Structure 1
Amino acid sequence: MSSTTSATVDSADIVRLILQFCKENSLFRTLQCLQEESRVSLNAVDSLDALLSDVNKGHWDTVLQAVSYLSLPPNVLQDLYSQVVLELAELREVETAHHLLRETAPMNALKQANPERYLRVEALVKKHHFDASEAYEGMSKEKIRGNLAQSISKHVQVAPPSRLLALVGQAMKWQQHVGLLPKNARIDVFRGVAKDAEVEAEMCPTMVARTVKFGSKSHPECVTFSPDGQFCVSGSVDGMVEVWDHQTGTLRKDLQYQDEGSFMMHDKAVIAVAFNKESELLATGSQDGQIKVWRIATGQCARRYEKAHSQGITCITWAKDSSQLLTGSFDFTARVHGIKSGKTLKEFRGHKSYVNSAVYTKDNARIVTASSDSHVIVYDAKTTEIINTITPPPPSHCSSIMDYSVNAAIMAPKIPGYSEHEDLIFVCTRTNTILLMNLAGQVLKSFCSGKRDKGDFVAMTTSPKGEWLYGVAEDNTMYCFSVASGSLEQTLKVAEKEVIGIAHHPSRNVIAGFAGDGSMVFMSDSRSRGEGPDISRSIYVNKDPADTAVGLSPGAQSDDCYEVPQETPPLRKGREQRQSSMSRSRSSRGGDFCCSYLLDSTSSDKS
């Protein structure tokens, strides 16, 4: 027989742990706000002897600061403040004595509860000559201080310092002891997992685990994962920016702004999204050339670039230090924008058609762009000068006199067999072949779908460690290649029609695919399927934004679907056709979320 015991923790004790942490780390404003909102006082000191010693010695500045965190009875506080006022008057600190007399809560309470005593103290302060015998009623200051110390000691608790960190440390040690956490690993305390243990051995996805349906009148135009793997964000044709849980295929309602129906928004279609390295800031680009930078935790707009480009933003990349944004556009240019200044700092010219992708090299010294003009250009990031122009060769079965749009050029992760100091790029052209090239333009390896009819690639991505290369083609199928061998290992259907792109999770074998048919899918291997609950149903959200009830649809299918209500005409499909005008209504989605400029606009940007 086994018995179970459970311990309950008072919520007020949790608040006190946080209050102590705030006090010890000089977060006094936070401490004060938390005390006021929770109506819980710390009511504890690290050392009672030290507090009583300060009372007996008349160190009133220290005593009053300590008392501000305590919950003492009104009569004790009134006795304390009355004594402090009288001693200040004795020292002829009359102005300070008057301030405490008139502005502090205990003395105002004394004025209401015992006006005669209050008027007596006030009269003693106003006297030009201070009579200690009259003020202290024949007692010595030392005796009165001793009585105050004794009264205070009855109502004050003693708590060891750093209790919150100590308890967290003890909990982590216990979890390591019982095997819940590996030893000698970096721990994500908030989520209770080992950071080093999160990275899975790379395997290509084998199934569609979750499906999100955006409805017939909208679709996602771009999707990305945050570098820490916590957020999956989509940008839609209706201007919505939404944060998803890839494990369940549902909106993240733990984000307060989404739970309240306030979403990050643009006036036009959102066609580019990117997180900074710290996963705290999200940059979004829209069809009208506007960029917004959001704080993902709060949904607040931290920076806005009204006309970052004259036409739509096709891609966004953050600089390594998160001080700048690199963008490409339908206006044939790439530009660098300063986060702190909010200004466009540099422009990279040379393309004769849409810039479909723009990325930094690993050292941020060069910029690589890919364009529908069939060229890849390598720029000097500081001078904006063109270092090299690359024309990826077409496959042997294609005509060499035709131009083939370059859909993307992305930096390759470290690949076995190649120097880690050499910058390599994967180049996706509008053919059935993806190329691995160096920045000199040399083709090192090719990856072919093997299909001449609807086998041309429209987008690609790599696994985090670079072991796998994934390309989605016009047949709406994802092709999985082994980078080491160059061979096609597997295929997986992404959508019924008009696939737009794919994005890989930074540490798990999960790929998000999105299409013009209004679907976003999360593909995973069989092991990753077990991450989230097996819902196996369709989920529909009530179209009335005031009603957040979720109900099951009759006759649900096996795939998990989350249908988002839309009322906007779809944008024309295809990366080269996304510039048509579009109007939309915000009324059913909660309105534009409040934007405030939170970054320091006076600081200079790094070049």
Structure 2
Amino acid sequence: MSQFFKAKHTNHTLEIKSDDILRLIGAHLTEQGHHHTARTLQQETKVGLAASFVKDALPQWIQTGQWDAVLTALEALDPQRNPHVPALQAQAYVCTILELADQGEWDVAYATYRCVQPFLHEQSIPDTELGTTTTWGRLVEQKLAALAAVRQTNPHAHVPYQYYEGGSLKASRERLAELIEDWVPSHPRQRLPMLLQQAVQWQSHTGMLPQTKQYDDDDDNKNETKRKKRKKQFDLVLGSVRGEVVAVDDLDQYVPNEMEPIPQDVYSTISFGKKATCEAAVFTPDGANLITGSSDGLIEIWDGRQQYSKLNIQDYEYQKEDKLMGHDVAVTALAISSIGKYLASGAVDGTVVLWSLRTGSSLEKISLVGKESVISLCFRLDSDRHLLVASGSVVREYNIKELKLDGQGSRTKFKAHCAKEFLGHTSYITSCLYISDDEEMSVVTSSGDGTVRIWNQSTGESVNILQPRDHSAVGQSMVVNTFTDGTDTMPVITVIPLQNKKLLIVPRSTVAFAVTLEGTVEQRFVTPTVMVAATVSSSQHTLYAVQENGECAVFHVKTGELVSSIRDFGTQGSRLKEGQGAEISAMLYHPYKHILGAFSNDKRQSKGKLVLWK
């Protein structure tokens, strides 16, 4: 097998290691329960997994001394992909050997040591007392000799000082558990199927995937009687169309309601505490969970295996013990890092907290100047160490540093500092996001002052000011040199990034716009009544825009065509009668499934429900 697979689009080439393909296949086999096949693949290819499926269970196994299970899980990891694996294996072997000797199992302890002796002598560690370097093998020999000397006179004597790292058996196990948390990533569920589905969506978007439609055999001859229409079928496995091919090369001919199902039925309804309303929601990057923040200050993780209707207590045991993440006041904004490791939450009192999703523990707390409510949060896609925080009319970028508290990095502390401020809006911020323009990173913000601003992320300087108006036509520029509040100013609800360096600007108006980063209008989306919330599908083919009357308009992004509508969208979960929908506050879309979500903090809404459609 070649070392790299190359995928090329325009002027860019993406190199994918063949080992990573094997890792994805091995992970999928393990996830489906085909453990024997996965082990055979690993033995024949010598390629291990990049992450662990049992990371959440590893600390518990360590705390209870189930070293056979721990070593088996570490053995499946690939040291070439994760350089920390040999060190973790060495320390797990050391713990196993020392605990066996402490329990009086000297024969088993020495037999285990002889099996791994060469490996342990290859793993060096600093000797903090002497200021030199030793190996795990030499350290084990010294500790076993010290224990043997003590136990010769008294078989029940305590272990020597510093026999266990940290001074006790419990401390030694906790130290290794902390290293596992820091150094072993957790494998996302359904990674291979998700990538395949996204690849199909991308090929459909770029026109590489053949599309078929219903057509007439004798469509050109208008005088003759038309023959019966036939529908062709595309074979995804063979990559061909059964029958005569009808090629569709232009995305303008794409028909959303044929290629991408439009949600029409309620899939699930999530209820919150008494008198509590949903204030923020976000899907995890793998789509396995839905995270919500509510007006009672709670942050909860909902399980996709149960249609997001119940809390995920299987993967997040702290929720089972009612140890929920949260604030003392209403949660108003959420953002999750690209790999799903960290969660940032903002509250109405101007505080932002960085959380570890795996443990539910607070890593860092940021208190904003002015104590204004946090409106929007956003992590950089290529880094979980850069976070945008919008409150009032200001957007701040925080750099998050991970500080090691000891030489071996078993304990860490997070510290956030404000790196820059983006100043210029004259009213409240409604959204903030990062966009990459090949050569540099930019920040895009929208505001109630009716503008969208594009900033240079490095300098914090404003690059462009865009001001959408109802009469902005296709081909026109939205750029304004000097912004002044006018009578026709429309507050911008949100800005959504699109592919090919474009933005979808949604004002509180009857018209939304697709524009380039330079501000040129490329498409208009017109609704009968004013839009109050919007989102796009994961393929970015379809725009969903909810209006004041609760009706959800469905547009084809490329053509701007209104292709469908969901009439009772705003009435679901409310106490109001049909046609009197509670105003939707925000919408969200699943990363790779056709699941559309919406919620409202309208006080007339029953129990502040979040409704998912499919």
Could you state the TM-score of these two structures normalised by the residue count of structure 2?
0.57
Q: Note the aligned Cα RMSD (angstroms).
A: 3.9
Unmatched segments (≥5 aa) in structure 1: 1-6, 55-61, 69-83, 85-95, 116-186, 415-419, 525-607
Greater Rg over alpha carbons, structure: 1
Determine if contact 2:435/2:497 at 8 Å carries over to the other structure.
Answer: yes
Aligned with 1:357: secondary structure? strand
Q: Mapping of 1:584-603 within 5 angstroms?
A: none
Are 2:575 and 1:520 aligned?
no
Match of 1:429 among 483, 500, 507: 507
Structure 1 residues 33 and 281: alpha-carbon distance in aligned structure 2, compared to 1, 3 A threshold: farther
- Partner of residue 351 from structure 1, selected from 425, 432, 453: 425
User: What displacement does 1:113 show?
Assistant: 5.0
Q: Select which of 229, 233, 237 maps to 2:287.
A: 229
Q: Deviations over 1:284-335 (max 9, x none)?
A: 11111111111111111122112266311111111232221112222x1111
1:100 to partner: Cα distance? 6.7
Q: Does structure 1 residue 390 correspond to structure 2 residue 475? A: no
Q: Which residue of 1 aligns with 2:488?
A: 402
User: How far off its partner does 1:425 sit?
Assistant: 0.9
SS across alignment from 1:403: coil
Change (3 A) 1:216 1:446: farther
- Is the CA contact (8 Å cut-off) linking 2:336 and 2:343 kept in structure 1? yes
1:510 aligns with 2:595: yes
| 2:325 maps to 1:264 | yes
1:49 shift after superposition: 11
1:541-595, Cα deviation, whole Å (9 max, x unpaired): xxxxxxxxxxxxxxxxxxxxxxxxxxxxxxxxxxxxxxxxxxxxxxxxxxxxxxx
Q: Distance in 2 between matches of 1:232 and 1:261?
A: 17
Q: Which amino acid aligns with 1:311?
A: E
Query: Residue type of the partner of 2:430?
Result: N
Q: Which residue of 2 aligns with 1:592?
A: none
Distance 1:114 1:359, change over 3 A: closer
- Assess, with a 3 A threshold, how the Cα gap between structure 1 residues 24 and 347 changes in structure 2: closer, same or farther: closer
Query: Hey, what's the Cα distance between the residues in 2 that align with 1:456 and 1:18?
Result: 55
Shift of 1:367: 1.7
Q: 1:46 to 1:269 in 2, by over 3 A?
A: same
Whether the 8 Å contact between 1:375 and 1:392 is mirrored in structure 2 is yes
Give CA-to-partner distance per residue, 1:205-233, whole Å, 9 cap, x none: 22111101124511111111122223311
1:52-95 CA-partner distances (Å, limit 9, x unpaired):
xx9xxxxxxx9994996xxxxxxxxxxxxxxx9xxxxxxxxxxx
How far 1:460 moved relative to its partner? 1.4
Give the deviation of 1:507 after TM superposition.
Answer: 1.4
Say whether 1:280 aligns with 2:366. no
Shift in alpha-carbon separation, 1:100–1:505, aligned structure 2, 3 A: closer
In structure 1, what is the equivalent of residue 229 of structure 2? none
CA separation of 1:66 and 1:476: change in aligned 2, threshold 3 A: farther
Structure 1 position 357, deviation (Å): 0.8
Secondary structure of 1:277's match? coil
Q: Distance in 1 between matches of 2:492 and 2:110?
A: 66
User: 2:453 matched to 1:377?
Assistant: yes
The residue that corresponds to 1:205 in the other structure is 263
Deviation at 1:273, TM superposition (A): 0.6
| Displacement after TM superposition at 1:338 (Å) | 1.0
Conserved 8 A contact 1:434-1:447: yes
2:564 to 490, 506, 509: 490
SS of the equivalent of 2:195 reads: coil
Q: 1:17 aligns with which of 53, 57, 72?
A: 72
Q: Deviations over 1:486-532 (max 9, x none)?
A: 122232314332321111111111122112221112212xxxxxxxx
Higher relative contact order (CA 8 A, sep 6+): 1
Q: In the aligned structure 1, how far is the partner of 2:390 from the partner of 2:279?
A: 15
Aligned position for 1:463:
537
Query: Residue 355 of structure 2: which of 286, 291, 294 is its match?
Result: 294
The AA in structure 2 aligned to 1:365 is: M
| Preserved contact between residue 325 and residue 338 of structure 1 (Cα < 8 Å) | yes
| 1:133-282 equivalence runs, <5 A | 194-199=193-198, 202-248=260-306, 249-254=309-314, 255-282=316-343
Q: Distance in 2 between matches of 1:344 and 1:513?
A: 32
Aligned equivalents of 1:433 and 1:347: distance in 2?
Answer: 31
- AA matched with 1:508: K
- Who is 1:477 aligned against? 551
Query: CA shift at 1:17, angstroms?
Result: 2.0
Out of 487, 501, 504, the position equivalent to 2:586 is 501
Matched-pair contact (CA < 8 Å) for 1:461–1:469: yes
1:142-173 CA distance string (max 9 Å, x none): xxxxxxxxxxxxxxxxxxxxxxxxxxxxxxxx
Provide the C-alpha distance between the structure 1 equivalents of 2:462 and 2:191, rounded to a whole number of angstroms: 48
Letter in 1 for 2:509: T
Q: Which amino acid aligns with 1:17?
A: T
| Pairing partner for 1:318 from 367, 370, 379 | 379
The 5 A counterparts of 1:567-586 are none
Q: For the structure 1 residues 191 and 100, does the alpha-carbon distance in structure 2 shift closer, same or farther, using more than 3 Å as the test?
A: same
TM-score by length of 1: 0.57
What is the alpha-carbon distance in structure 1 between the residues aligned to residue 391 and residue 458 of structure 2? 20
**Number of residue pairs the alignment of both structures matches:** 392
Quote how far apart the aligned CAs of 1:430 are.
Answer: 0.8
**Aligned partner of 1:377: which letter?**
R
**Contiguous gaps of at least 5 residues in structure 2:** 1-35, 37-65, 78-83, 122-133, 158-185, 202-259, 402-414, 474-485, 575-581
Mapping of residues 15-164 of structure 1, within 5 Å: 15=70, 17-18=72-73, 25-27=86-88, 28-30=90-92, 65=137, 103-104=146-147, 106-112=148-154
The code of the aligned residue for 1:328 comes to: A
Q: Is the 8 A contact 1:309 1:329 kept in 2?
A: no
Q: 1:347, CA displacement in angstroms?
A: 0.9
Say yes or no: does 1:446 pair with 2:506.
no
Kindly state the Cα deviation for residue 107 of structure 1 after the two structures are TM-superposed: 3.5
Shift of 1:407: 0.9
Percent of residue pairs bearing the same amino acid type: 25
Residue 443 to residue 247, structure 1, CA distance change in 2 (3 Å)? farther
Aligned to 1:411: 497
CA distance, structure 2, for counterparts of residue 32 and residue 301 of structure 1: 31
Instruction: Give yes or no for contact 2:318–2:324 (8 Å, CA) kept in 1.
Output: yes
Q: 1:446 to 1:45 in 2, by over 3 A?
A: same
Answer yes or no: is the 8 Å Cα contact 2:288–2:305 preserved in 1.
no
Shift of the 345–474 alpha-carbon distance from structure 1 to 2, 3 Å rule, reads same
- Mapped to 1, the partners of 2:324 and 2:189 lie a distance apart of 25
> In 2 relative to 1, CA 111–209 (structure 1 residues): closer, same or farther, beyond 3 Å?
same
User: Does the CA-based 8 Å contact 2:287-2:304 persist in structure 1?
Assistant: no
